[in-house]
Amino acid sequence: MTALFLVAGEASGDALGAALIRGLRQLEPGIALQGIAGPMMQSEGLTSLFPMEELSVMGIAEILPKYFHLKRRIAETARAVVAAKPDALVTIDSPDFSLRVAKLVRAAAPEIKIVHYVAPSVWAWRPGRARKMAPMVDQVLALLPFEPPYMTAAGMRCDFVGHPIVAQPKISDADAQAFRARLDIPAEVPLVVALPGSRRSEVSRLSPVFGAALGQFLAQRPEARIVVPAARSVAGLVKQQTDAWPFPVQVLDPRPLTVEAAEIMKRTAFRAADVALAASGTVSLELAAAEAPMVVGYDMAWLTMKITQAMALIDTVTLVNLVSETRLVPEFLGQDFTPDALSRALVDMLDAPESQLEAARVTMSRLGAGGDAPGLRAARAVLDGLSVLQA
């Protein structure tokens, strides 16, 4: 019987881990699993060594007060892995925590195989991360189809297992129409979804420019309606910021809803939209999955932006552009992030979305749509990798 120790450190990893557990149990019903899990993995029957939420911190200001506690948790987790003697340790995302655990386990018990789920974005910046991982990681599970060569070049096996976006249930046209009806938005009225980010710093920095851009857009398309599906973590700030916009806005507040209901509401808004103005990030894949044409805009502190641009290895930050190998999603970053540029791009996209929609369909196909669920593919890769590595 195969035994695995799974470690997730944040909500995104918890979701990947839950899908992985379902896949593992489908392929090997008697598999033995233990580890660190959030609520989604626990709902699949995994008991957590300690609450995963203790690890869900990011940023220097948040980490410093918890530094010594996190160090203790890293050591505790590594000791638990070594004591459990699993066939493999599977670390899921959260590299700052996961790879420190992997390093300790590799030093103490080199016979334990180590798999890391989610390849680092070495194709975008800091390519040396792959070489640093290689001494402690045997196999990587990649979400993007172009990632394996970067990992194998550094000496690790790497399997593309598909992106979790393709496993999300599709929102029907009927549900999208019902959403519009609830907001009293007729089918012929353009619906713009605005997404100014999921972190407070993003919302504070992007919202004023988004508001100015949408104001200029409405001057050309006065019949359009603006809807803002706020992220739970910043819903209050989003409401505060959008109240300053000089036009009516419908903010979708997820806080009164369950996590699942809020997710459905957001994806229904995406499906109902004629065009979206979005911050840079994985939301571009969510919009592509909903077949919502988009314009991407982003900015950060001047020095941070200059450093990021100097280190970047790519000419676009939008995943739809990268996966589809096109540049059909217009993006405006740094000094190009202006109301004039965004508003013009929104008008152009509303008038002619077809090419971008085709790029979105190509993106979803390349991410695994229509094939086995990513969790099942990941489970198959882990078990196959284990048999090969042990041979």
- Mind listing the pLDDT tens digit for each residue in 149-205? 999 999 999 999 999 999 999 999 999 999 999 999 999 999 999 999 988 999 999
Residues paired with 279 in a beta bridge = 297
Task: For residues 28 and 103, state if they share a domain.
Answer: yes
Query: Among 198, 193, 204, 218, which Cα is nearest to 299's?
Result: 204
Query: Among 8, 18, 19, 21, which Cα is nearest to 54's?
Result: 8
Question: Is the four-CA dihedral 279, 53, 381, 75 of positive or negative sign?
Answer: positive
Per-residue model confidence (pLDDT) at position 58: 42
Task: For residues 209 and 94, state if they share a domain.
Answer: no
pLDDT in tens, 305-316: 777 777 778 899
Residues paired with 296 in a beta bridge = 278, 331
Q: How many distinct structural domains can be found in the chain?
A: 2
Q: Are 92 and 117 in contact (CB under 8 A)?
A: yes
For residue 61, how many other CB atoms are within 10 A of its CB? 8
Inside any domain, residue 168: no
Backbone angles phi, psi at 248, to 5 degrees: -65, 140
Task: For residues 222 and 352, state if they share a domain.
Answer: yes
Per-residue model confidence (pLDDT) at position 12: 87
Task: For residues 130 and 268, state if they share a domain.
Answer: no
Task: For residues 128 and 272, state if they share a domain.
Answer: no
Task: For residues 158 and 297, state if they share a domain.
Answer: no
Task: For residues 263 and 284, state if they share a domain.
Answer: yes
Angle among Cα 15, 18, 23 to the nearest 5 degrees reads 130
Specify the pTM: 0.90
Task: For residues 274 and 330, state if they share a domain.
Answer: yes
What is d(CA 177, CA 158) in angstroms, rounded to the nearest whole number? 42
**Structural domain containing residue 141:** 3-162+370-390
Task: For residues 247 and 264, state if they share a domain.
Answer: yes
Whichever domain contains 196, its CATH number is: 3.40.50.2000
